[in-house]
Amino acid sequence: MIRARLICSERPDDLTLAFRRMGLPRSAREYLLEKVPHAQVLVTGLEKEEGRFLQGLHERSEAPGREEFPVWVPGDMRTRPGTGLLSGRRDQFERLLAAARAEGGPLSRLALAVSRALEADRPPAPLTLGGRTFEWGSRTYVMGIVNVTPDSFSDGGRYLGVEAAIAHGLALVGAGADLLDIGGESTRPGSEGVGADEELARVLPVVQGLRERTDVPLSVDTTKAAVAREVLRAGAHLINDISGFGLDPDLPAVVAEAGAACCLMHMQGTPSTMQQAPHYDDVVDEVLAVLEDAVSRATRAGVPRERILLDPGIGFGKTLEHNLYLLRRLGELRAPGLPLLLGTSRKSFLGRLTGGRPPAERLAATLGSVAAMAALGGADVVRVHDVAQTRDALAVADAIRLARDGGSLMGK
């Protein structure tokens, strides 16, 4: 499968501000937006035909005065065949896409991957859940965690009773949660699963109780079609599957038939094995590959692409450095053009970074992680235990990211 990811990009709004600072009139700004270097796109998974096509375009562009297409630099044929870097202006990329689409066949896949990569810094299409519409890019949304389990790593057993779980969910709504995520099976490292009947007995009455008392969209954290079918009937709007539709082959069809949304997560291994020496050659590329396979499973079953969110699975089969690198490179994970949901709340890598603090003492570290993601524009939804404090941190981080008033010359 071809994967293209945006390595760096000069965003049009940032360039426009630079041109304003130069005192250039609108006509000059618009002209230069089409002419200055725009993006660098890393492409992997190319077959020979696609590689030859890109090399041919590159050779055509080498003629003096004929820089029609992006510069193409292929990877090492011995160690990384099928890879390369495209670098160029917006108009050059547009000509490349037109040429690939005109050829058709396998080159259509190349055009689709590159076009999605070029649009990765634009907000995905809005998503409506229940009566609420999520305008991605306008701010970072908050998903509150409701664990109805005896053994979750942070708050296992605190909200195991139905009324306690419902009260906790309502408190999170009062604190500003945009969604609630209800889970009846612990997925902490080393945990063993529970049967569908037990999981359903834990979460179904909580979904029913919350649905009666709040209109906040409800997500259920499950990998099982039997559980998903019942909670969706009870009023849940989203299925949050840590396996990325990789464990239960019936689950995608259940989500599609209900018209629900889903979040598909990356995990290397299973909760019981995932932290046993996780290894990657290229963590971003491999996470993307698994997530794109998950999206394919969903869409083949009939789930509309615009109703899919992706989660790189921080802490699920990753070392400390893997987690940090993924958080740093979240922009590359936007290559599929879908919203990103991130969960860092109270996780063990934050404990390691702060000198071994236990889960209950990781609030400040959690806020640091969600603020960084928001300021960098890397997450659309953050899944957290501490909603009120997270909303405050995001209010500041989002405001910094979205600030546009640089004085009268800059415009607003």
At residue 179, does pLDDT exceed 90?
A: yes
Q: What is the arithmetic mean of pLDDT over 90-115?
A: 93
Q: Identify the pLDDT of residue 65.
A: 55
Was domain 127-402 assigned CATH 3.30.920.30?
no
pLDDT recorded at residue 236: 98
**Residue 43 burial by Cβ neighbours in a 10 Å radius (0-12, 13-18, 19+):** buried
Position 13 confidence tier, pLDDT thresholds 50, 70, 90: low
How do the domains of the chain map onto residue ranges?
3-118, 127-402
* Residue 340 scores a pLDDT above 90: yes
Q: Which residue matches tokens 């002419």?
A: 35
Hey, which of 9-18, 151-160, 263-272 has the most confident mean pLDDT? 263-272
Average pLDDT, the chain: 91
Task: Write down the pLDDT at residue 78.
Answer: 87
Confidence band, pLDDT 50/70/90 cuts, at residue 33: confident
pLDDT of residue 263 exceeding 70, the answer is yes
Residue type, 250: D
Give the lowest-confidence range in 77-91, 125-139, 167-181.
77-91
Q: Where does the pLDDT of residue 14 fall: very low under 50, low under 70, confident under 90, or very high at 90 and above?
A: confident
Binned at pLDDT 50, 70 and 90, residue 411 comes out as low
pLDDT for position 271: 80
Give catalytic residues, as residue numbers. 347, 383
Q: Are 115 and 41 in contact (CB under 8 A)?
A: no
Q: What is the pLDDT of residue 5?
A: 92
d(CA 356, CA 389): 22
Between the CA of residue 149 and those of 38, 119, 169, 241, 305, what are the distances in Å? 49, 40, 14, 17, 31
Question: Positive or negative, the Cα torsion across 121, 125, 127, 133?
Answer: positive
For 378, how many CA atoms within 13 A lie in the half-sphere containing its CB?
22
pLDDT digits (tens, 9 = 90+) for 351-394: 999 999 999 999 999 999 999 999 988 899 999 999 999 999 99
For residue 181, which of 164, 168, 197 has the smallest C-alpha distance? 168
**Are residues 370 and 140 in contact, defined by beta-carbon separation less than 8 angstroms?**
yes
- How high is the pLDDT of residue 62? 64
Q: Band the pLDDT of 37: cuts 50, 70, 90.
A: low
Report percent pLDDT > 90 for the chain: 72
State yes or no: pLDDT of 181 exceeds 90: yes
Question: Among the listed ranges 88-97, 242-251, 253-262, 301-310, which one has the minimum average pLDDT value?
Answer: 88-97
As a whole number, mean pLDDT of residues 31-58 equals 87
Average pLDDT rounded to a whole number, residues 76-93: 90
pLDDT tens column, 139-178: 999 999 999 987 555 555 566 689 999 999 999 999 999 9
Decide if pLDDT at 83 tops 70: yes
Q: Please tell me the distance from the alpha carbon of residue 221 to that of residue 208, in angstroms, as a whole number.
A: 15
